[in-house]
Structure 1
């Protein structure tokens, strides 16, 4: 089986990289940070959480910058206590997707156990349709908090995701080869499961990644920017041949973000990582090649 990089016409040893800024639309501080990184060419792409209160600002800005790669960050959880959101679908019941308050579940496991598959499919379509209606040239889709992968209970919704992505001609964030946080290959049972899901995506004509990477969501005690940067440099040096996506969650850090977020300084560090000369030099030294989600979208829509 060819890697996605080889299907794009690259060699078997070429290492290609997408850097995606997640959580566009979360709040004003995050929007302003991601807009800066996209405008500077620091990140390859971003994905918008359409149910969030600042998604319209992110979407209208994206519609004015259609040369940039903007995807939909398919959202089915609402994890912070002070800021909440719920479904955008208005054509029928969404009761299995929400708590008694009417917001999405806080925990992934609660969502996985409660969600009705048809209601999930309707919400997937509604979130993508909203992005398109606001004028975004949607390049790809991915998933907030991994709620659709069945990671907590084993109950996944990927078949519906692949059906919807096939319908809209969108590649999806799924790694063909599963890695652990340290960049090493996952145990055989987990690795085989990832390959089965990738095979299902292939069958439905949806292009997926070769590898998916990111640093731990929360800092360990004693972490500094320098230790964080060192971890990212190690991750970059260890990239495998193929198309890899690295996920970051950048934001400006101000009173708005600090009012609800439990790790705001971490998001501020992620804002600076790929601006850092040492990180950029590592990418150059390692011969890592940039690739864009719209390249994967073109591959998918070509039917090759």
Structure 2
């Protein structure tokens, strides 16, 4: 897992994409989004409860993973959930792994010596072709649709699809062809530009892509807040539920306070606690902390007090379809 996005983005002056979609002028409009659904039972429960009991309002599913049926069966009885595809081209953990849905023989460049997807973004870049990347994207979309699951949006696990211009082109292509919104900030990008330290050429490039997506009939993000995976816990090392909840809630309040008006996707990873998940990943404290922050009444109070508008990818697409 990576702490920051590998994406470079663009800044645009004037009207925000949120305003173009009809959201109130001057408002912060947030998609509070949980990644990695389908990866494990804990990931499913953490995401669902973060939405049902807390302020999260969107999620995305890793189709190659073992607990996808568990989520999709829940979704079939709860289709109000805003659920997209967390397009997955890596399998990063040591003892818990998954392979490409297109099949090893079809996408050999995406497959490592164990028959799984590569562990790192760098290995995908080194070994996989853009054609293989697109084939696997389409295989993951096909599996979702075969299961009766139509995603509200597409995004990228570990930012792999933003690692090269060629990979990103295929990601955007599928979204535009299939009329599925894709995670891509093409607006002022205030939060993400601070992390990425972007240069003017990168701003210009992503502004053009944002306009391309908009002209293709898709909603576009104004910004992306993707810092939470690096919020490891209090400096004193206290990882108790109470300490992690206070710490993470404080970090989210601080991050929300810095955001500028516009449509921003806030990325996080929520799991509930079991004895099993720590065997999968040592990231469990920050993931449990995200979940605890989402259900913290203090975070909900802050959002309401500040007049922050919460939305979903589904609503953003519905709004986009009404814009001429």
TM-score by length of 2: 0.85
CA contact (8 A) 1:213 1:244 kept: yes
Counterpart of 1:148 (choices 161, 165, 181) is 161
Give the deviation of 1:113 after TM superposition: 2.3
The more displaced of 245-254 and 128-137 is 128-137
Cα distance in 2 for partners of 1:59, 1:202 equals 29
Cα distance in 2 for partners of 1:33, 1:52 equals 16
Please list, as runs of the form range in 1=range in 2, the aligned pairs for 1:269-288 lying within 5 A after superposition.
269-288=289-308
Please, which runs of 5 or more residues in structure 1 have no aligned partner?
Answer: none
Counterpart of 1:264 (choices 267, 284, 289) is 284
Cα distance in 2 for partners of 1:250, 1:182 equals 25
Counterpart of 1:46 (choices 59, 65, 70) is 59
State the match for 1:160 in structure 2: 170
SS at match of 1:212: strand
Counterpart of 1:206 (choices 218, 236, 239) is 218
Counterpart of 1:13 (choices 26, 30, 39) is 26
State the match for 1:104 in structure 2: 117
Give the deviation of 1:287 after TM superposition: 1.0
Give the deviation of 1:182 after TM superposition: 9.2
CA contact (8 A) 1:178 1:185 kept: no
Please, which runs of 5 or more residues in structure 2 have no aligned partner?
Answer: 1-13, 238-242
TM-score by length of 1: 0.90
Give the deviation of 1:91 after TM superposition: 9.6
Give the deviation of 1:23 after TM superposition: 0.4
Give the deviation of 1:84 after TM superposition: 0.6
Give the deviation of 1:212 after TM superposition: 0.7
SS at match of 2:153: strand
Q: CA RMSD in A?
A: 2.3
Change (3 A) 1:2 1:273: same
Give the deviation of 1:130 after TM superposition: 1.1
CA contact (8 A) 1:48 1:55 kept: yes
CA contact (8 A) 1:250 1:270 kept: yes
State the match for 1:178 in structure 2: 189
Counterpart of 2:143 (choices 103, 121, 130) is 130
CA contact (8 A) 2:270 2:290 kept: yes
State the match for 1:230 in structure 2: 250
Change (3 A) 1:211 1:182: closer
CA contact (8 A) 1:76 1:104 kept: yes
Change (3 A) 1:38 1:280: closer
Give the deviation of 1:122 after TM superposition: 1.1
State the match for 2:80 in structure 1: 67
Change (3 A) 1:9 1:181: closer
1:249 matched to 2:269: yes
Cα distance in 2 for partners of 1:282, 1:35 equals 21
Change (3 A) 1:41 1:137: farther
Change (3 A) 1:193 1:115: same
Cα distance in 2 for partners of 1:38, 1:220 equals 22
Cα distance in 1 for partners of 2:323, 2:103 equals 33
Counterpart of 1:28 (choices 19, 41, 48) is 41
Length, aligned pairs only: 301
Cα distance in 1 for partners of 2:165, 2:198 equals 20
CA contact (8 A) 1:74 1:127 kept: yes
Cα distance in 2 for partners of 1:300, 1:10 equals 11
CA contact (8 A) 2:91 2:116 kept: yes
Change (3 A) 1:137 1:40: farther
Cα distance in 2 for partners of 1:116, 1:299 equals 35
